[in-house]
Amino acid sequence: MDATVTKRWLLARLYEPEQIIVDCRFTLGKPQAGRDSYEEEHIPGAVYLDLELDLSSPVGGHGGRHPLPDPEVLAARLSKLGIGNDSRIVAYDDESGMNAARLWWLLRYLGHEQVFILEGGFSQWKAEKYPVTNHQPVRVPSTFEANVQPQMLVDVHKVQQISANMEPSASPTGLSSVLIDSRARERFLGQEETLDKRAGHIPGAFNFFWKETQNADGSFKNAEELQEHFSELDQDAEIIVYCGSGVTACPNVLALEKAGFKNVRLYAGSWSDWISYEENPVATGEE
């Protein structure tokens, strides 16, 4: 089954007991806005997970702006919400799927495959007259046991190694290891930076803006369209994906897997972690 589901698909299964719907709405710079929106109205039965309080660890000297949560801490939070190892999770947000994709990636990192993203997010759901409510469900706690998949992740040392061995290239075609920067073009080039202390990108990285994996309505492009989008990449290459803080990289991971790539890993700390090490070089422009 695809990693995304349609509104009609979810409506038909809205009250199935094994399913947990998770509202992941969050606005950077307005940390209470997502929860406020959830409390005002949400998809019936949905519980709420906060990007910074639940899906990240506290910020430290390294690890970036959204460090990964401790697996056991997240597992305990999921258990409290009634999410167990047999649950089917459908996540949504109102940010083109970037926060929902963070939860999608995290659950798979914890060994849970039954997790999906709602195409189009909450605003489309509401605009098309699907049901909403302000009732917050009472969930019976369950047991979620983490089975961490370390192969899905790389750390700064691995990225340093790949970057240092990268020869200047105009194309990733033929490369066995590829660094993909998921941020907007102007941030990649170092022309604009409003979130992090330094502008630019990891030397040797290639820019594939995460929003270009989606259609105008916020749904993900189909497998054939994504294969065309990533056609410069070799299917058997090791692909390391990063962004500013490890959040918007997740939709790119999903899109790459949807396009058939098998060896895709996340640099979770991303650019904000990279620049926390003074010795790490920074590239700007087209290199």
Active site residues: 243
Instruction: Fill in the DSSP letter of residue 280.
Output: S
Joined tokens for residue 197: 């202390």
Contact by Cβ (8 Å): 240, 179: yes
Radius of gyration of the chain (CA): 19
> Residue 179's beta-bridge partner residues?
240
Contact by Cβ (8 Å): 213, 252: yes
Phi then psi for residue 132, to 5 deg, are -135, 165
Distances (CA, A) of 264 to 98, 167, 236: 17, 21, 10
Contact by Cβ (8 Å): 110, 146: yes
> Residue 265's beta-bridge partner residues?
240
The DSSP line for 195-231 is SSSS-SB-TT-EE--GGGGB-TTSPBPPHHHHHHHTT
Contact by Cβ (8 Å): 106, 55: yes
